[in-house]
Amino acid sequence: MSQSSKTSVTRASSDSIRLRKGKLPIVCITAYSAPMAKLFDDYADIILVGDSLGMVIYGLPSTLQVSVEMMINHGAAVVRGSKKAFIVVDLPFGSYQSSPKDAFITAQKVISETGCNAVKIEGGRTMAKTVEFLVNRGIPVLGHIGMLPQSYNQIGGYRVRGKTKEAETEIIQDANILEESGAFGVVIESVIENIAEKITNDISIPTIGIGASVKCDGQIIVAEDILGMFSDFQPKFVKRYANLSPLISNAVKNYADDVRNRRFPGKEHCYYKK
């Protein structure tokens, strides 16, 4: 087959994602591996390689222990496993907060070593200069406001944000400043519905909610949460679409029983001379 007759699929761009605002809701889901990315690619507009992989894949206590190398390994796998979705990789804790220049160095490494399309960083007002610095140098940035898992030690747990008037004002300011700084979208995590709704109506870039109600322009969720494969904790905002843990556990139990009782491998799984 000649090069020109091959069907090539083009990925979405940050501009095309931004233009989705006010149109069809944007579907985002996390993936950390090539096979999962392949399964999600037909349905997701954005696949996020989230630093939630620290807890979900590595069994770490929080996202604070996640390294750039982990993000790069999983980011590259997700890019290889997908063709259509726009791939965003989280910059992990400590890899971008010190200065816009450090953020650029990390983002450049992540993009060039994974082939991903954009990065996500946590923080609003505090990250405005950094977002602007990256965007002005050709790096699309997805913002993240509301409950910020990387600030776990400051906020003292994974709490809903926006309960006081002061917190509401801060979250709204965060969204506005990320829009001004050039972010192509903003994740709003664990925020009271009417604040998410107000932000969605006020800013020109898409809002992607997680625990921030149906009023957002799109939704994002951790895949293992909706598939019933991660049970360390289940936030209120998670809806279970499947319960795979018992299925997996039962399959492995059956395999173990077969091996112990010499029922596996069978003749059909073995090689013989003709």
Q: What share of the chain is helix, strand, coil (3-state, %, to 5)?
A: 45, 15, 40
Tokens of 233: 């904790």
| Beta-strand relationship, 141-146 and 26-30 | unpaired
Contact between 183 and ligand KIV (CB under 6 A)?
A: no
Task: Please tell me whether residue 190 binds ligand KIV under the rule CB under 6 A.
Answer: no
Find the binder of ligand KIV among 210, 212, 216, 223 (CB under 6 A): 210
Identify the active-site residue in 122, 132, 189, 197: 189
Q: Which is nearer to ligand KIV, 172 or 210 (CB)?
A: 210
- Note whether 118 binds ligand KIV by CB under 6 A: no
Stretch that binds ligand KIV, among 43-51, 67-75, 79-87, 164-172 (CB under 6 A): 43-51
Contact status: 222 vs ligand KIV (CB under 6 A) = yes
Smallest gap from Cβ 53 to ligand KIV, in A, equals 7
Task: In whole angstroms, give the CA distance from residue 132 to residue 217.
Answer: 23
Amino acid letter at 132?
E
- What six digits make up the tokens of 74? 């999983």
Q: Residues 158-177: x/- map of binding to ligand KIV (CB under 6 A)? A: --------------------
Consecutive H or E run containing 173: helix 165-181
Choosing from 36, 75, 85, 90, the residue that interacts with ligand KIV (CB under 6 A) is: 90
Of 14, 36, 37, 51, which one interacts with ligand KIV (CB under 6 A)? 51
Active-site annotation holds for 166 = no
Which C-beta is closer to ligand KIV: that of 29 or that of 172?
Answer: 29
d(CA 215, CA 212): 8
Interface with ligand KIV, residue 191, by CB under 6 A: no
Which has the closest alpha carbon to 31: 18, 40, 22?
A: 40
Interface with ligand KIV (CB under 6 A), residue from 14, 33, 52, 219? 52
168-191 in b/e form (b: 16+ CB < 10 A) is: bebbbebbbbbbebbbbbbbbbbb
Residue 26, classed as helix, strand or coil, is: strand
The residue (of 177 and 216) whose beta carbon lies closer to ligand KIV is 216
Read off the tokens for 62. 């929080």
Binding-site ranges for ligand KIV (CB under 6 A) = 30, 48, 50-52, 90, 187, 189, 210, 220, 222
Catalytic residues: 189
